[in-house]
Homo-oligomer: A and B are copies of this chain.
Amino acid sequence: MGPPVADGPWLGMRQSMATRGQSVARTLRDGVLDGTYKPGARMNEVDISNALGVSRTPVRGALGVLAAEGLLDYVPNSGYVVRRYTVQDVEDVYAARSVLEGLAARTVAERGLSDHHRGMLHKVLSETQALCDAQEWSEEVRDAWSRLNEAFHEAIFEAAENRHLRELIGKSRSIPQLQAVKFRWHDLDTLAESYSDHLEIFEAIADRQGARAEYLAREHVYRSGRRLIANWRRFETPAPVRRPTRRVPRAA
């Protein structure tokens, strides 16, 4: 691990990027979102450096960025800790998300759907309906539904053509452990319910019913939030018995 490093295929990097710093940031961000790094966990710079095969410099940069994104808490001279979202936090996030998605839906309804976005939404809805009609439930179905749900909402944000709105929604979707918790308790009934919501939202948008689209989107997100909140506690990592201690005694 000398200075030049010979640029081998860095193990631990999920994808090559422009700079090591960006690469590390992406790796750590994914890790926080999917629960690899659990809420309350200390982000030790040296450990991460060793794990990713880089020096502390890009790691420090990445940690600062993730803290600015709200994924980590930073305590000067102490370090970075994965931020813990309480049930209250999740409620707050979804309250905000619901009005933002409402805005997106209304905007698209008023602006009108382009053929491109109409096609995308139609495709997503068709596939979702197929999933519903199959009347089967499995890991694969759940993942497929997760992706379709993502795609539906994503298409609406994209059609709204509001850069700032995208950034805010992105922030609202960046919750530690969210990927690990979301959809975990879903079943065929909730799938059908969500599909029906999506269909109504789409029709309202297509019919350029701005106020109705906004209301439906808000309500849809609100209900999704309720489901998530009802299950959040069950997946919470246990409370921090001791305050996040600085040093973890090594095995040796």
Contacts and interface: CB of A to CB of B under 8 A. Distances in A.
A76 B107 CA distance: 34
B165 A64 contact: no
Contacts of A164: 89, 92-93, 95-96, 172
Nearest to A68: B68
A6 B243 CA distance: 34
A241 interface: no
Nearest to A163: B92
Nearest to A19: B76
A96 B103 CA distance: 7
A79 to B, nearest CB: 12
A95 B60 contact: no
Contact of A171 (B19, B65, B107, B171): B171
Interface string A166-209: 01100110000000000000000000000000000000000000
Contacts of A125: none
A22 B103 CA distance: 35
A102 interface: yes
Nearest to A97: B164
A103 B167 CA distance: 18
From DSSP, what is the main secondary structure of chain A's interface residues?
A: helix
A40 interface: no
Contact of A168 (B21, B77, B107, B168): B168
Interface in A18-37: 18-19, 21-22
B99 A19 contact: no
Contacts of A102: 99
B162 A95 contact: yes
A61 interface: yes
A69 interface: yes
Interface string A76-92: 11000000000011001
13 contacts: A18-B76, A18-B77, A19-B76, A19-B77, A64-B64, A68-B68, A88-B163, A89-B163, A92-B164, A95-B103, A95-B162, A96-B164, A96-B165
Given A96-B168, A164-B172, 11 more contacts: A61-B61, A64-B64, A64-B65, A70-B167, A95-B103, A95-B107, A95-B164, A96-B103, A99-B99, A168-B168, A171-B171
